[in-house]
Amino acid sequence: ILQTVALAIGAVPVFLIAKEKLSSRILSLALAASYLLYPALEWVNNDHFHPESLATPLLLFAFYSAMRSRYIAFAVFSLVAITAKEDVALVIMLMGIYIGLTGNRKVGFTTATLSLAWFFVGLKFILPHFNSAGFFYIQNFSRLGSTPAEVINNTLTKPGLVLSIVGQERKLMYLLELLAPMAFFPLMNIETLLIALPTLFSNLVSQQGYMDSIQYHYTATIIPFVFVSGILAIEKLGLKAKGKVLMAGLIIVAALVSNYYLSPSPLSPNFTRGYWTNSNERRGSMDEALSLIPKDAAVSAYCSMVPHLAHRQKIYEFPNPFKTVNWGVRGEHPHKKALIQYVVVDVKNLPGDQRLLIDELRNKGFRQIFNRDEILVLKRK
């Protein structure tokens, strides 16, 4: 609920920025509606709760405050946003540089300096204090190096390597899906779009397949600057009253078409492909399978079923703890396999090796107590 409300509130600063820059209520409303229809935003909300989703409206409010020279409000919104995740500091750093170059030099460059300092304090001291393994996500950038310094050095000295990664079809499609809903106008104001460069760059060069997809939370700090850039680009066109009405129509058409093809909303065919929608033809089987799991039993469950079983002390996302996947930071193994009493999975969506694991469990201490619509429940003998 918090995530949904926070993301929706972002329509307010989008409207205010557009109203300030474009002097058109209808165009401002169209842009606010486009924000709410934006596929990447709806996918962020569709994903599990992630703190950086709260940075989306905060960054928009921060930019609006700076635009109106309300620097105390800008500082407050920036300080709250920076607590969402360590790399938000890099986005605020670039926003500070932008403010320094286009507005108040003292505020802008002070913001940039403090944000960069906070980022390094977090990376060097805060994260290692709570997790001795250090900066886990550096492994996502292994094609550019094994340490932050190597990644930065290779990025600056080997542009051909970076372009070969970013130029892949999947990466280009990612950029298309980010920009098409705003009719590609953000490209006409590239200087504000580049404020999101730290996140955009890490998503594009990462080996983590989730990061270069709009269907996860990794676009949370990119979305604000897609809209800021689009608004400032439209301002450059110097449209008259009739042109603003036509532009509002174009914005809404682009938003609706993109929402239909790319979003998980009720307007899109994707809505009926979700794990939890009422239209899911296997919903009844899922519910019955979940009802068989005692409230205090130790369980290993398929990812989409974990939230429905989470109120217990011992729960693992299958195939953990039998096979280590997305667990720990440097190869640690989960707890003892023997404690698991129940396994509940969606066999239809399991990769081949995990299907083989199910067969092994059947032969090594588990018996099947439910199997319908490829929803399977195993219980320890």
How confident is the model over 17-46, as pLDDT tens digits?
999 999 999 999 999 999 999 999 999 998
The torsion angles phi and psi of 313, rounded to 5 degrees, stand at -85, -30
Mean of pLDDT values over 257-280: 81
What's the alpha-carbon Rg for the chain, to the nearest Å?
Answer: 23
Amino acid occupying residue 326: N
Contact 161, 154 (CB under 8 A): yes
Question: pLDDT of 333-349, one tens digit each?
Answer: 776 767 899 999 999 88
Q: What is the pLDDT of residues 62-94, one digit of tens each?
A: 999 999 999 999 999 999 999 999 999 999 999
68 to 83, 162, 330: CA distances (angstroms): 24, 37, 47
Over residues 284-302, mean pLDDT = 94
What is the share, in percent, of the chain residues with pLDDT greater than 70? 94
For tokens 């002070």, name the residue: 110
In this prediction, residue 153 carries a pLDDT of: 87
Residue 317 has pLDDT above 90, yes or no: yes
Confidence at residue 147, expressed as pLDDT on a 0 to 100 scale = 77
> Given strand 342-346, what is the order of strands in its sheet?
315-317, 299-301, 342-346, 375-380, 366-372
